[in-house]
Amino acid sequence: MTVTLKDIAERVGKSITTVSRALYDYDDVSPKTKELVHKAALEMGYTPNTFAQRLQKQRTDTLGFIIPTFGPRFSDPFFSEFLAGLGNKAAEFGYDLLVSTRSPGEEEMRAYREIVRGKRVDGFILLRTRQQDSRIAYLVETGFPFVAFGRTTDKMTFPFVDEDSALGMRLVVEHLTGFGHRRIACLAPPQELTFALHRLNGFHEGMANAGLPVDESLIVTGDLTQRGGYERAKILLNQLNRPTAIAACNDLMAFGAIRAAQETGLVVGKDIAITGFDDILMAEHSNPPLTTVNQPIYKIGAMVCEMLIRLIRNEPMAETQITLKPELMVRQSSNYQLS
């Protein structure tokens, strides 16, 4: 049976109040009593009932994280790296993580509303922000604490961390055009995602900077999965006038594209250049190793988490809107001069 404050109180012959205050080292209980209580608590193996505490304290010490997925599986290593950063930082501060997955739409919104209204968490972490993001609209409106990884395109103001995706794609295109590529395809993310816009803009800017035209037929939208990348790349590669390079907007699609190219009999990093975006752990170990834009996903998870906790605790924050400068990781999948 579980040990409660009452049990301890009976054992040491003091009131529940005193026991509670002794455990938290209030200075209106005598040193003797404190010691007595602490010893009893230890011996009896007391651990406070979290739910009673939360009910009374009116906070949950829990952070909410709803992963937006299509289909049931979130197999994207991007999510798990982010989750790891989040989880470890949360644990460090003594917060729990309430994790679930929901595909974008009404069902997702209902989850948010229920969690907010039932006071299930102290704040939310948001991911994969949309250009018009109803989650954000709702949370801003209700004044509920949250921090996002990513921005929106409307004029909503809220705390976020984001990477300068446009710059990232410009770097990619610069790198490719520098090696002589002119026909560069782009595997774009679903349009509603904010970073789709930024990365596509970056792509266009890069091409413009190099004085190159953009062939719109080489811009195709994928679903950010490996399979999606594979399928889109197949189509691109079966064209008569195929591109000499494919810039995928995330690593997973790039992996799919690599496989598609290899199946077509092309040597990636020699016959065709393929690049990614994210620099997930796998990118360095793929074959060939993938040229990509680094996002410190794990670290961003931790950052976002710490920002949220500060926000919840009303602690001062240096910056509430952080944009990181990306770094291009040149690896073998693209590191050759186009002949």
Partner DNA sequence: CTTGAAATCCAAAACGTTTTGGATTATAAT
Partner DNA sequence: ATTATAATCCAAAACGTTTTGGATTTCAAG
CB 186 within 8 A of CB 218: yes
Which bin fits 61, alpha (ψ -120 to 50), beta or left (φ > 0)? Answer: left
Would you count residue 124 as binding its own copies (CB under 8 A)? no
| Binder of residue 79, out of DNA, its own copies, none (CB less than 5 to 8 A by kind) | its own copies
Cite the DSSP H helix spans in 45-150: 50-57, 77-92, 106-117, 134-142
Least distance from DNA to the Cβ atom of residue 153, Å: 37
Q: Which is nearer to its own copies, 33 or 77 (by Cβ)?
A: 77
Distance CA 44, CA 7 (A): 9
Least distance from DNA to the Cβ atom of residue 113, Å: 15
Residue 14 CB contacts under 8 Å (≥ 6 apart), including other chains: 22, 33, 36, 37
Would you count residue 84 as binding its own copies (CB under 8 A)? yes
Q: Which is nearer to DNA, 46 or 95 (by Cβ)?
A: 46
- Cα-Cα-Cα-Cα dihedral of 33, 37, 38, 39, to 10°? 100
Q: Which is nearer to its own copies, 207 or 233 (by Cβ)?
A: 233
Chain-centroid distance of CA 249 in Å reads 15
Distance CA 246, CA 100 (A): 34
Least distance from DNA to the Cβ atom of residue 41, Å: 10
Would you count residue 296 as binding its own copies (CB under 8 A)? no
* CA distances to 164, 293, 307 from 325, in Å: 6, 10, 19
Would you count residue 207 as binding its own copies (CB under 8 A)? no
Read off the tokens for 288.
Answer: 């060939």
Q: Which of residues 19-78 bind DNA (CB under 7 A)?
A: 20-21, 23-24, 27-33, 46, 48-49, 52-53, 55-58
Q: Which is nearer to DNA, 29 or 272 (by Cβ)?
A: 29
Would you count residue 17 as binding DNA (CB under 7 A)? yes
Would you count residue 332 as binding DNA (CB under 7 A)? no
Q: Which is nearer to DNA, 26 or 70 (by Cβ)?
A: 26
Distance CA 243, CA 183 (A): 5
Distance CA 289, CA 175 (A): 16
- The one among 24, 31, 73, 318 contacting its own copies by CB under 8 A: 73
Would you count residue 6 as binding DNA (CB under 7 A)? yes
Strand partners, 163: 324
| Binder of residue 80, out of DNA, its own copies, none (CB less than 5 to 8 A by kind) | its own copies
**Residue ranges binding its own copies (CB under 8 A):** 2-3, 45-52, 54-55, 60, 72-75, 77, 79-81, 83-84, 87-88, 91, 96-101, 113-114, 117-120, 226, 230, 255-256, 258-259, 262, 281-282, 285-288, 298
